[in-house]
A and B are shown apart, each in its own frame.
Chain A
Amino acid sequence: MKEFRVLSPTAILGYGFPAASFEEGMRRKPHAIAVDAGSTDPGPYYLGSGKSFTDRGAVKRDLEFMLVAAIEAGIPLIIGSAGGAGADSHLEWNVDIVKEIAQEKGLSFTAAVISSQIDASLPLAAGGETLSLQQMYPAPMPTKEDIENSTNIVAQMGEKPFIDALDMGAQVIIAGRTYDPSVFAAPAIRAGFDRGLALHMGKILECAAIASTPGSGSDCMFGTLREDHFELDTLNPARKCTTTSVSAHTLYEKSDPTKLPGPGGILDLRDCTFEQASESSVIVRGSRFAPDEGQSFVKLEGAKLVGYRTVSFAATCDPIMIGKMDSIVTSVKEKVASNFEGKISGYFLDFKLYGANGASFYTTNGEQSVATPAEVAIIIEAVAKTTADADTICSFARSTLLHFGYEGRKSTAGNLAFPFSPSDFSGGAVYAFSVYCLMPHDDDNTELFQPKIVHVKDGGWSV
C-alpha cells in the first residue's frame, strides 16, 4: 500500500521530547520530519520585539536530534513559524542555531530559508489606502497608522512555498510564519496525496502528543497518510491515541471544528470519522479540502510598540482594606493623576487584585460565593511612553497605596506586605497586536515566500 509517513517530534520546537520516542519514530522510517515552531498565543511582545518565546538552548537540543537524523536518513526536515513569530529576526535566530549544529556535527545538505516578513508598503495600496485588505472580525481593520507603526508584519504561508523549496532540492527548510498544518502536509501533497487528509493530519500533528492521552506538548507523534485515510500513533508506550483524544484535538484553539479556513481554501471536517485502529492508534477518514472560489488571501499579523512597563508586587491581609479595595484603588489613581498633572500624560495605571478577580474577566456565576478573601495580592502596573515615566508612575502609586489613609483604617503603619526589595521591576517594552487581517495573494504570485537556497558543506554555508 502506498503511504506517506511523517514524524512530528514535539508540539513546539524547543518544548522537547524523550529520545526514546524520537528513535522509535525514526525506526518507523518517516518520509519527512516536520515541526511547528510558533504561535500567537504568548501575546504580541514576541512578534513586536522580534524575540523568540522559546529558549535557544532548548531549541538547539531539539534541532540537533532532528537535523542529524534527517540528514542520515536522507529525508526532509521542515520547520515552520521559525523563532516563534516568524519575522526575519526570528528566522535568522533559528538559521543561526541550524548553522551552529551543522558546524559542530560537520553536516552537509541543501537548505531553503523562506521569509514571511512583509514590508508595510505591501498592504498599503497606492495613496496609503488599505482597501484591498479584508477584515477578520472580531479583529479590527488595521488603519494606515497601525500598519506604518508596526515593528514587524508577517504573512502566513501555506504549502506552496514548501513544495517549491523541495522542488528546488532543499532537504532542510526553515520558514517564517506558516499555517501550522502546512509543514506536515506539504511533502505529502507534493507526493500526490489528498490535500484535505494531508492538512487534517497536519492539523493534529502540529501539536504532537497533545492529541494523545495522557496528552503532552513534549512528546512525539507519528502520522501515516494513505489513499483514503490517515492513521495517528503515539511513539511512547505510556501514551495512546484514542478516538476521544484525537477528535477532541480537532476542537482545540479553533472557533468552528468543522470548517477550518486556511491558505487557499477551507478544510471541511463535517463528515469526518474517527476509528480506533489499534490500542494506540486512530484512523481518520472523510476530511475534505474545498479550494477558494475566486480570490485567495494570506493572513497578516503585525504588532506595534505601545510603551514601557514597570510593575510592583505587594499584598494585603487586612479585612477592612480588602473590603474597600475598589474605592481605595480609585482614590490612588486620582492622587497619581493629580500629582503628575501637566508632567506625565498618556500613561496606563492598573491594579491587578489576585484573590479578587485578578485573573477572571467574567464574574457572573449563579452559585458564586462572595466571601472576603483572607489575602489579596496586588500587582501595580504602569505603562508609559518611557521607562523613566513608567518607573515614576509605578513608584508613586506604590508609595501612595502603602500609606493611603482609607476610612476605618486600624493598621496605620503601612497597608502593604512586600515580598521583595527592590519592590518594583521594569518589564521593558510593551507591544500590542496592530495588524490581523487578510491580504489578497495567489499561490502563483512568487513575490512573497521566495525560498532562498543555501548549500551547506561539512558545516560551512554558501549561497
Chain B
Amino acid sequence: MYKLIDQVDVVRSKNSGPYELTFDIMFKDKGHFDAFVDKQVMTEAVFAQLYGINVDMVKSVISFAPSKAVKITIVRPMASGDLGEKDIYGAQQHSPLLGFTYTL
C-alpha cells in the first residue's frame, strides 16, 4: 500500500481558466510513475470517488512522461469568483489527493 504524499515531488491544484480546475501529480521515481500509469491507478472514477463528485465532472486524466506527471482536470464547482466562491485561484483544492492510498 502506497500513500501518494510519500511518492511525489509535487501535488497541486490550479484554475485552468475560470471554469476548470486542474490537478498535477509529479512523481519522484520514474519506475513508480510508470507502474502508476500502467496499472491505471488514477481514473476518472477513482478521482470522482476521492473528491465526492459525479464522474461526469471529471474531464480528463492524462499522463505526461517528461514530468513523470499525471494530470486530472475537472469542471469547477462554479465559475471563478461566482457567489459562494471559496478559492478564486483554485490553488488549495489538492489536499484530498495527499491522503490517497493505492497498491501497485
Query: Nearest Cβ in chain B — how far from A281, in angstroms?
Result: 16
Q: Interface 1/0s, chain B 67-89, versus A by CB < 8 A? A: 11101010111011111111111
Q: 11 pairs across A/B with beta carbons < 8 Å?
A: A40-B17, A248-B69, A257-B71, A352-B86, A359-B86, A359-B92, A360-B92, A360-B93, A364-B51, A365-B95, A433-B81
Q: Which of B10, B51, B101 contacts A248 (CB 8 A)?
A: B10
Given contacts A41-B88, A253-B14, A360-B93, contact A248 B50 (CB under 8 A): no
Is A358 interfacial (CB-CB < 8 Å)?
yes
Is A366 interfacial (CB-CB < 8 Å)?
yes
A43 to B15, CA, bound (A): 10
A365 CB contacts on chain B under 8 angstroms: 50, 95-96, 99
Interface majority SS (helix, strand, loop, mixed), chain A: loop
By CB atoms of chain B within 10 A, which of A243, A273, A306, A366 has the most?
Answer: A366
Is A247 interfacial (CB-CB < 8 Å)?
yes
B62 CB contacts on chain A under 8 angstroms: 256-258
A258 to B69, CA, bound (A): 12
Q: Which of B16, B60, B83 contacts A306 (CB 8 A)?
A: B83
Q: Interface 1/0s, chain B 3-17, versus A by CB < 8 A? A: 000000110001111
Is A244 interfacial (CB-CB < 8 Å)?
yes
A348 CB contacts on chain B under 8 angstroms: 83-84
A254 to B17, CA, bound (A): 8
A258 CB contacts on chain B under 8 angstroms: 62, 64
| Residues 17-57 of B contacting A (Cβ, < 8 Å) | 17-20, 22, 24, 26, 49-53
Interface residues of A (CB under 8 A from B): 40-45, 136, 138-139, 243-244, 247-248, 250-258, 272-274, 306, 348, 350, 352, 358-368, 383, 430-433, 436
Q: Across the interface, do B82 and A432 meet the contact criterion of CB distance under 8 Å?
A: yes
Q: Across the interface, do A255 and B73 meet the contact criterion of CB distance under 8 Å?
A: yes
Q: Across the interface, do B88 and A433 meet the contact criterion of CB distance under 8 Å?
A: no
Query: Nearest Cβ in chain A — how far from B91, in angstroms?
Result: 9
Query: Nearest Cβ in chain A — how far from B96, in angstroms?
Result: 4
Query: Nearest Cβ in chain A — how far from B92, in angstroms?
Result: 5
Q: Across the interface, do A255 and B81 meet the contact criterion of CB distance under 8 Å?
A: no
Query: Nearest Cβ in chain A — how far from B94, in angstroms?
Result: 10
Q: Which of B17, B86, B89 contacts A436 (CB 8 A)?
A: B17
Q: Across the interface, do A243 and B66 meet the contact criterion of CB distance under 8 Å?
A: yes
Given contacts A361-B77, A383-B83, contact A253 B67 (CB under 8 A): no
Given contacts A360-B92, A365-B95, A367-B99, contact A252 B14 (CB under 8 A): yes
Can you add 16 more A-B contacts, CB < 8 Å, to A139-B19, A361-B86? A41-B15, A44-B79, A136-B17, A136-B19, A138-B75, A139-B17, A256-B62, A257-B71, A348-B84, A350-B84, A364-B49, A364-B51, A365-B96, A430-B83, A433-B79, A436-B19
Q: Across the interface, do B75 and A433 meet the contact criterion of CB distance under 8 Å?
A: no
A367 to B79, CA, bound (A): 29
Q: Which of A254, A359, A436 contacts B22 (CB 8 A)?
A: A254
Give the residue name and chain of the A residue nearest to B66 (CB): A247
Q: Which of A253, A256, A364 contacts B15 (CB 8 A)?
A: A253
Q: Across the interface, do A251 and B99 meet the contact criterion of CB distance under 8 Å?
A: no
Q: Across the interface, do B22 and A253 meet the contact criterion of CB distance under 8 Å?
A: yes
B24 CB contacts on chain A under 8 angstroms: 248, 251-252
A256 CB contacts on chain B under 8 angstroms: 60, 62, 71, 73
Give the residue name and chain of the A residue nearest to B50 (CB): A364
A368 CB contacts on chain B under 8 angstroms: 96, 99
Q: Across the interface, do B64 and A44 meet the contact criterion of CB distance under 8 Å?
A: no
A248 to B17, CA, bound (A): 18
A252 to B73, CA, bound (A): 12
Q: Across the interface, do A43 and B26 meet the contact criterion of CB distance under 8 Å?
A: no
Give the residue name and chain of the B residue nearest to A432 (CB): B82
Q: Across the interface, do B81 and A253 meet the contact criterion of CB distance under 8 Å?
A: no
Is B100 interfacial (CB-CB < 8 Å)?
yes
A136 to B76, CA, bound (A): 13
Q: Across the interface, do B53 and A362 meet the contact criterion of CB distance under 8 Å?
A: yes
Query: Nearest Cβ in chain B — how far from A351, in angstroms?
Result: 11
A62 to B9, CA, bound (A): 33
B82 CB contacts on chain A under 8 angstroms: 432-433
Q: Across the interface, do A254 and B66 meet the contact criterion of CB distance under 8 Å?
A: no
Q: Across the interface, do A359 and B87 meet the contact criterion of CB distance under 8 Å?
A: yes
By CB atoms of chain A within 10 A, which of B24, B80, B81 has the most?
Answer: B81
Give the residue name and chain of the B residue nearest to A273 (CB): B66
Q: Which of A250, A363, A432, A436 contacts B64 (CB 8 A)?
A: A250
Q: Across the interface, do B100 and A366 meet the contact criterion of CB distance under 8 Å?
A: yes
Q: Across the interface, do B51 and A366 meet the contact criterion of CB distance under 8 Å?
A: no
Given contacts A138-B75, A364-B50, A366-B99, contact A254 B83 (CB under 8 A): no
Query: Nearest Cβ in chain A — how far from B1, in angstroms?
Result: 11
Q: Which of A248, A253, A432, A436 contacts B83 (CB 8 A)?
A: A432
Query: Nearest Cβ in chain B — how far from A232, in angstroms?
Result: 14
